[in-house]
Structure 1
Amino acid sequence: MTDPRVSEYISALEPAEQEFVAYVRSFVPNIDPEIREQIKWNSLAFFYSGEMKAFDAKEYKRDLLVVNLHRGKFLLVFPTGSKIDNAILKGTNYPDGRKIVTIDSLNALKSIEPNLHAGILNWIAQIEK
């Protein structure tokens, strides 16, 4: 399900950013029917809309992925990334549990798409329903 605010957000971006963000928007929601999009923290974000056990909202358990544009780079921010078991998310955890994957082009994104897909499925499998 698409959010019209996301389309407005994308239309205001530079052409290369539009292409990148539109590509992410084209594949992430197709990974699971319970993934939805929104604008959060002034960025394109995806969240799990399905049933979950109650939790503290400050844990960001519903939040899956935020696409942040920063100084010509694309940051894929996984708010609960420290819980995801995936090769592209190896390395240092931020104290709050985030993981960030920095990408410099659409081609680089396409090259890691299978790993992103697997990482998102791993995260969904861990959800307490």
Structure 2
Amino acid sequence: MKAKLNDQEQVCEHIQKLEPALAQVVETLRQIILGTDPEIGERIKWNNPSFYYTGEMVEFDPKEYKRDLIVMNLHKGRIMLVFPSGAKVNDQSGLLEGDYKDGRRIAIFKDLEDVQAKQGALQKIIQDWLKLVEKG
């Protein structure tokens, strides 16, 4: 019987199954996100790599997804990063798109070049989001 993979191993395995060009972009985004702050963790959620805040937080209803920072949504030809509470971030870069009633915002990346061009804006959004987290 195969041992259950930990969260990080599950993310690695998920990325390895992607087509090589897509896998490279996803892995680059993953490294940018994880490299932004040591209290960002990763796991597979809703069948995609997702990133969340691992530090102490004030108690809240788990249905509010306050820990969830980013869920990847992989489509042919583009990668969407869904920020479940992205509306809270005052994004001046224009990276976050959409005006959803539930408060989520989306960043879309086409390829590796696009990711590299938007890396600074992405990291700033993550840092701003972390400042808004209601830490315990």
TM-score normalised to the size of structure 1? 0.93
Q: Unpaired segments of 5 or more residues in structure 2? A: 1-6
* Inter-CA distance 8–80: structure 2 relative to 1 (3 Å threshold): same
Q: Residue 28 in 1 paired to residue 28 in 2?
A: no
Deviates more, 1:106-115 or 1:64-73: 64-73
User: Alignment partner for residue 78 of structure 1, among 76, 83, 102?
Assistant: 83
* Inter-CA distance 7–91: structure 2 relative to 1 (3 Å threshold): closer
Task: Give the paired residue count.
Answer: 128
Q: Residue 46 in 1 paired to residue 42 in 2?
A: no
Q: Residue 123 in 1 paired to residue 101 in 2?
A: no
Superposition CA RMSD, Å: 1.4
Alpha-carbon contact 2:11-2:44 (below 8 Å) kept: yes
User: Alignment partner for residue 37 of structure 1, among 38, 42, 48?
Assistant: 42
Q: Residue 6 in 1 paired to residue 7 in 2?
A: no
State how far apart, in whole Å, the 2-side matches of 1:38 and 1:71 are. 22
The percent of aligned pairs where both chains have the same amino acid is: 43
State how far apart, in whole Å, the 2-side matches of 1:127 and 1:98 are. 15
State how far apart, in whole Å, the 1-side matches of 2:97 and 2:52 are. 23
TM-score normalised to the size of structure 2? 0.88
State how far apart, in whole Å, the 2-side matches of 1:43 and 1:90 are. 19
3-state DSSP of counterpart to 2:94: helix
3-state DSSP of counterpart to 1:55: coil
Which residue is 1:93 aligned to?
Answer: 99
Alpha-carbon contact 2:39-2:54 (below 8 Å) kept: yes
Write the letter of the residue equivalent to 2:44: I
Q: Unpaired segments of 5 or more residues in structure 1? A: none
Q: Deviations over 1:27-84 (max 9, x none)?
A: 2111111001111111111000000101111211100011211132110111111011
